Structure 1
């Protein structure tokens, strides 16, 4: 099975998704955290490895790598753009057994990425996938709750209530 990797241009996505764009006006860190949380859900749900790249000019200092929510989060070095870092990562990761996707709405970057053999994914496409994933997660949580409420033993509702009261220590 092929390894699948999604490289996300962090600030490009924040600047495109309405909920993140509105949040970044007063709370850029909060917008970053929300994107990271959503991408963690995306990774867990799809099984696609996610690497988020943020430009260093928004966070001064040397390039850094973090591993939050089992995601790789990269802050580029000063004077290195997220686009440059993503292009380097595509070249580093490019192998026959790895399928690479890049999420950005930067048209020039999309062309460069496509030319280097990666698949492009617009910010809108990623957002639509994320909305579908969130709905899928909601359905799974609801099913799990309903399944837990039912017992596997073929007993009447009345007996199930009695057992539940015993379990909770009620007489």
Structure 2
């Protein structure tokens, strides 16, 4: 597993990635699950630790973080806190901040986490990285399948 830790502002990505915006008529849960499925494949192939943080500040009851299979941790911010609050806290408490990549299209949040020592990237640029990883995974699968079937 890689030392890189990717912290994703879930709703920032959900609203920026075209493939997820096309699901706009579907339930929020369906759209979140589509994002998480993509990030699970990305984490599985890249070896990076991935944590997705969703805003849930308007929720009256505490929502626990939920570990999903395949290396993606999901955290809901809970009452009175935003995803940005949690991301900033996680970066601030981390020992190896330079290995953290925060994914958000919120420019102010990007400046804050960079001041704390993490790197940041917009949701749009991260989508390109995820797509490249998934294309490479598909290429490896096809290559393996071709060798298995072989002449």
- Give secondary structure in 2 for the equivalent of 1:105: coil
Q: Which runs of 5+ in 1 are unaligned?
A: 151-156, 158-171
- Which residue pairs with 2:64 in the alignment? 64
Instruction: State yes or no: 1:130 paired with 2:130.
Output: yes
CA distance in 2, matches of 1:2, 1:143: 24
Instruction: State yes or no: 1:75 paired with 2:76.
Output: yes
- Which residue pairs with 2:91 in the alignment? 90
Contact 1:14 1:24 in 2 (8 A): no
Aligned residues: 150
Contact 1:6 1:49 in 2 (8 A): yes
Q: Which runs of 5+ in 2 are unaligned?
A: none
Q: Which structure's CA Rg is the greater one?
A: 1
TM-score, normalization by structure 2: 0.90
- Residue 92 of structure 1 and its aligned partner are, at CA, apart by 1.6
Distance 1:88 1:13, change over 3 A: same
- Residue 27 of structure 1 and its aligned partner are, at CA, apart by 1.8
Contact 2:2 2:48 in 1 (8 A): no
- Residue 60 of structure 1 and its aligned partner are, at CA, apart by 5.6
- Residue 43 of structure 1 and its aligned partner are, at CA, apart by 0.9
- Residue 2 of structure 1 and its aligned partner are, at CA, apart by 7.2
- Which residue pairs with 2:9 in the alignment? 9
Instruction: State yes or no: 1:149 paired with 2:149.
Output: yes
Greater relative contact order, per chain length (Cα 8 Å cut-off, separation 6+): 2
CA distance in 1, matches of 2:59, 2:134: 29
- Which residue pairs with 1:153 in the alignment? none
CA-based RMSD: 2.0
